[in-house]
Structures are given as structure tokens and as C-alpha cells.
Amino acid sequence: MNRATLPWSILSCCIILLACNLLGAGASKSRAIDTEAGLAGRDGTMAAEQGYVNDRSIRIINSLDDPEIESLGDAEAYVRQVARACGVQGPVLTKGLLPRLAEGELAAAQDPSRLVSDDNVAEAFNFLSREFQAPHPQVLTGNEVLQFRTAMSAIYPHVFSPKSVPGSRPTQALIMLHQLVFNGGVPEGAKRFAQKNPQPGGFKAVASRIQLNPDPNPSLAVREYRSASIAYFRRLNEPEMHSLIESVAKIMALPAGR
């Protein structure tokens, strides 16, 4: 069964589950971070544009050097690299996200205060929870978002910014927002791992030591968020999706784009 990807997930990728030794003692009793994402619903109008996101894509993005952005052209090239890794094309990218993300990447490169704050990511997640009308909505704080990116930066330091950085670049923020929604919030295992103050890139994802399959018993929150988001996006047409992207972009304080 295909899972519908979220609109901002055109710039995100599927991250493998964290191993029990990543999540710490007792991890076998708590859910791992599950970010398996599939092809956009084939019956949706945006399916052909959203591409396919998987572990190969996230590894490609993580293998990219940290971008040296000195111009809008540099920023656009980086955003297109990320989009290409996920097989993304069409007006959702070129008319919706590319202008905002490129300007946002350039602004963040020139001024660290223009990074997307953890509070803004949390606010965007909470907004989407209301939009999806999840039966048991999770309410995130900026501190919980910081815990999540701290844990994930230990595996993918070029995709998630570390704790030492006061926020995320725009593409990083959108990737993180997708992962938070797909997980129905921040897994307890990630919170515990973040408390160990892991170093960026300090955990090596070795295939023989990790789960490569989705969690067969996802939590109630995970199931509710996935079901609610899929139902929500199946109802959207192209103008409505662009409107949603605009709303999320404003909450995350992304530039308006040219």
C-alpha cells in the first residue's frame, strides 16, 4: 500500500529506523523513529510532482557537502540538488517552494539569526495537527524539536543541524517538520538519546545493526497522524496545496520569494 507523502516532504527523505543501541537502555520497549515514506497517492493531483523519498535519497543529501551559499544562484542550486535526490519536479517546487527556500537559504547563510527557530517548527507542527484534526493531537514545544534534531544530527549531520546551532536552515526545517508529522511528534527514545548529548555524526548507521523495515506496531499517535494526514491531502487540489504551503512557510518565517 502506498503512503501519501506530505507536500513539504518533496524535500524530505525516508530515514531508516534508529537501532536499539541508538535509543539507549530499554529502547526495545519504546518505538524507534520511523520515517518510512512512500510514493504520493496515485489518485492525488500532486502525485507526479512529489517524487519518491527513501533511504537512498536521505543518504544522498547527507553525502552532500554543507553548502557554501554566497548568492541566490548558489541557494537555488542547493535546493534543486535536494529536490533532485527525491525525484521532485513540477510547479509545487518551482512556483511554491524553490523561491522561498532559495531566499531563505541565502538569508540564513548571511545572518544566523535568519535560521528557522525550533519554536517556529513546533508552531508549524501544531498548526498542521489542527489542520489534520488528529483525534489526539500532540502539542510540541521548541525544546522538544531541539531534542529531535539533536538526536537525528548524530546520524545525519548534513541533514539535521546540531544542538550547537541556534536553528535550522529552511530545507532542514522542512525535512524535520515532515519527520515530526510522520512520527506523530517526538519519540520518547529520541528524547532520551538527546539527553546523552550525542555529537553530530557520532552514530554510524551500519546496516547490520539497524532495523530496515517500518515499525510493525506503530504507536497510536503515529497511526492517527498518518491516517489523518493522508485523508487530508487526498482532499486537496493544487490551489489548496499551494495555500497550505504558504501558511506553513509564513509560520516558519520563510521569505516570500520573488
Please report, for the chain, the start and end positions of each structural domain, with discontinuous segments joined by +. Answer: 7-251
The percent of residues in the chain predicted with pLDDT above 90, rounded, is 39
pLDDT digits (tens, 9 = 90+) for 76-103: 999 888 888 766 666 656 666 788 889 9
What's the longest Cα–Cα distance across the chain?
Answer: 50
Model pTM score: 0.78
Mean pLDDT across the chain: 75
- How many whole angstroms separate alpha carbon 151 and alpha carbon 146? 9
CA distances from 160 to 131, 175, 233 (A): 25, 8, 26
pLDDT of residue 205: 57
pLDDT digits (tens, 9 = 90+) for 102-138: 999 999 999 999 999 999 999 999 999 999 999 999 9
